[in-house]
């Protein structure tokens, strides 16, 4: 039997290219793990369940993106969206802020390029309901917060009002999204607009749940020139309000628990204090606020008193956290989905069962950028070696 090793070596580059195609397809699949929530069981899927994919911190650069982002990072981000849609079949997409890496510093034309890039990445998600909230990188900090620019940015995303807030209902589940950046500011026009929306939603919720409506028709006591939050008495029970969406997490008291989970390597831990936050990768600069920034205690108490949220979804930290507040309300912090933020990006997949009284949370992790680069480097080295050997090796024969 005669074996022509040079012919085999010449076929190896084609085999490596085929392996690379298969690798790119499989490495784009998300790895999802259900996060435990006390004794609550995931249960079977039902056709009436509302399945929502939640992402944050895309940190898009638009027209300022270089070749590395365009042909590598954005390419894989698009594949991540497409594969997640194919595997999980969500009913809605929520983006919890920081769509842009430098949005607060961009002109309108450059912001338009970011929005165009955002739509290009979504692919099949464009056929679903999409809701986007604004983050600090999108609109800046209090010192530069501008109502006109916020209004212009908000108009480019569905269901946002001029202050960057929104309220909508899908599958009989109510959602309220807030401009959390404005809630950090003092005497600011946008903050007062956010407070008005909170008060309006609070009144609507109480009118639906209480028999005594006399109190509900009293004028609102929103202060227009004070740094302190004020609210009316709310007799609704905790957890009976809407699903709350905002970019900054609410304030955590030091004696509350949180659950951090890594769905890639299967590790998880439960702790009493969050002291370890992911380091900035420094690839798109720093944002206006530190990663540990939360809403202040008075704003947090105001939101709990007015809205009684059933569950809260926030972002900003770049990491995944599952936190329980003193009144039993669960807050999920959605990790960054960009390699610009962390080597191991991810997202959250939430399934609202029935009328939304039960929510199953899955933490989904995506491929590490470092692992993909190592795989590419290995394939490139093997490719070069096989080409060299094919050109310089003579045929060998063996007989039997």
Q: How confident is the model at residue 266 (pLDDT cuts 50, 70, 90)?
A: very low
Q: How confident is the model at residue 235 (pLDDT cuts 50, 70, 90)?
A: low
What pLDDT, in 10s, does the model give residues 313-337?
Answer: 999 999 999 999 999 999 999 999 9
Of 28, 98, 6, 110, nearest to 65 by C-alpha is 110
Q: Which of 78-82, 324-328, 363-367 has the lowest mean pLDDT?
A: 324-328
Q: What is the mean pLDDT of residues 162-187?
A: 94
Q: What is the mean pLDDT of residues 255-281?
A: 48
262 vs 365: CA distance, rounded Å: 7
| Residue 152 three-state SS | helix
- CB contact at 8 A, 142 and 185: yes
Q: How confident is the model at residue 225 (pLDDT cuts 50, 70, 90)?
A: very low
**Looking at the predicted structure, is the pLDDT value of residue 56 above 90?**
yes
Q: Which residue has the higher pLDDT, 389 or 344?
A: 344
Q: Which of 17-21, 220-224, 292-296, 376-380 has the lowest mean pLDDT?
A: 220-224
Q: Tell me the whole-structure pTM to 2 decimals.
A: 0.85
Instruction: Choose from 34-38, 155-159, 215-219 the range with maximum mean pLDDT.
Output: 155-159
Q: Which residues contact 84 (CB under 8 A, 6 or more apart)?
A: 30, 53, 90, 347, 364
- The pLDDT value given to residue 213: 45
Q: What is the mean pLDDT of residues 13-35?
A: 88
% residues pLDDT > 70 (the chain): 78
What pLDDT, in 10s, does the model give residues 135-166?
Answer: 999 999 998 898 999 999 999 999 999 999 99
**Looking at the predicted structure, is the pLDDT value of residue 83 above 70?**
yes
Q: How confident is the model at residue 372 (pLDDT cuts 50, 70, 90)?
A: very high
- CB contact at 8 A, 59 and 280: no
**Looking at the predicted structure, is the pLDDT value of residue 103 above 50?**
yes
User: In a 10 Å sphere around its CB, with 0-12 CB exposed, 13-18 middle and 19+ buried, how is residue 80 labelled?
Assistant: buried
Q: Which residue has the higher pLDDT, 222 or 66?
A: 66
**Looking at the predicted structure, is the pLDDT value of residue 54 above 80?**
yes
Q: Which residue has the higher pLDDT, 367 or 224?
A: 367
Say if strands 50-55 and 346-353 run parallel, antiparallel, or are unpaired. antiparallel
Q: Can you tell me which residue has the tokens 């690798």?
A: 23
Torsion angle of C-alpha atoms 93, 95, 100, 103, degrees rounded to 10:
120
Q: What is the mean pLDDT of residues 102-123?
A: 94
Q: How confident is the model at residue 188 (pLDDT cuts 50, 70, 90)?
A: confident
Q: Which residues contact 393 (CB under 8 A, 6 or more apart)?
A: 5, 6, 9
- The pLDDT value given to residue 379: 85
**Looking at the predicted structure, is the pLDDT value of residue 380 above 70?**
yes
% residues pLDDT > 90 (the chain): 60
Q: How confident is the model at residue 215 (pLDDT cuts 50, 70, 90)?
A: very low
- The pLDDT value given to residue 262: 45
């Amino acid at each position: 039997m005669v074996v022509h090793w040079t012919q085999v070596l010449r076929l190896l580059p084609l085999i490596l290219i085929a392996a690379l195609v298969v690798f790119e397809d499989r490495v784009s699949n998300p790895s999802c793990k259900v996060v435990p929530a006390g004794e609550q069981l995931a249960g079977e899927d039902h056709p009436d369940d509302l399945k929502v994919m939640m992402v944050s911190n895309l940190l898009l650069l638009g027209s300022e993106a270089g070749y590395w982002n365009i042909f590598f990072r954005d390419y894989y981000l698009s594949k991540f969206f497409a594969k997640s849609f194919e595997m999980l079949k969500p009913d809605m997409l929520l983006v919890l802020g920081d769509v842009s890496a430098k949005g607060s510093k961009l002109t309108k034309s450059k912001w338009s390029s970011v929005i165009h890039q955002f739509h290009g990445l979504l692919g099949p998600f464009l056929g679903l309901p999409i809701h986007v909230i604004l983050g600090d990188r999108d609109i800046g900090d209090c010192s530069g917060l501008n109502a006109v620019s916020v209004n212009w940015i908000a108009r480019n995303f569905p269901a946002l009002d001029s202050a960057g807030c929104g309220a909508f209902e899908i599958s009989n589940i109510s959602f309220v999204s807030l401009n959390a950046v404005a809630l950090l500011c003092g005497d600011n026009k946008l903050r007062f607009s956010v407070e008005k929306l909170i008060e309006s939603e609070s009144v609507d919720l109480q009118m639906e749940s209480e028999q005594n409506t006399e109190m509900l028709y009293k004028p609102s006591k929103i202060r227009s020139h004070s740094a302190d939050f004020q609210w009316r008495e709310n007799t609704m029970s905790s957890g009976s309000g809407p699903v709350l969406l905002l970019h900054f997490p609410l304030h955590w008291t030091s004696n509350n628990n949180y659950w951090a989970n890594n769905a890639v390597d299967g590790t998880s831990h439960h702790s009493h204090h969050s002291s370890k936050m992911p380091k900035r990768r420094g690839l798109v600069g720093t944002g206006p606020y530190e990663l540990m920034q939360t809403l202040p205690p008075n704003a947090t108490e105001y939101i709990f008193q007015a809205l009684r949220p059933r569950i809260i979804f926030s972002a900003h930290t770049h990491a995944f956290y599952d936190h329980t507040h003193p009144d039993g309300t669960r807050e999920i912090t959605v990790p960054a989905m960009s390699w610009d933020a962390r080597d191991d990006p991810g997202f959250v997949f939430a399934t609202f069962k029935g009328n939304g009284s039960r929510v199953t949370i899955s933490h989904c992790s995506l491929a590490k950028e470092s692992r993909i680069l190592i795989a590419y480097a290995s394939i490139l080295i093997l490719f070069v070696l096989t080409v060299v050997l094919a050109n310089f090796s003579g045929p060998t024969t063996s007989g039997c």
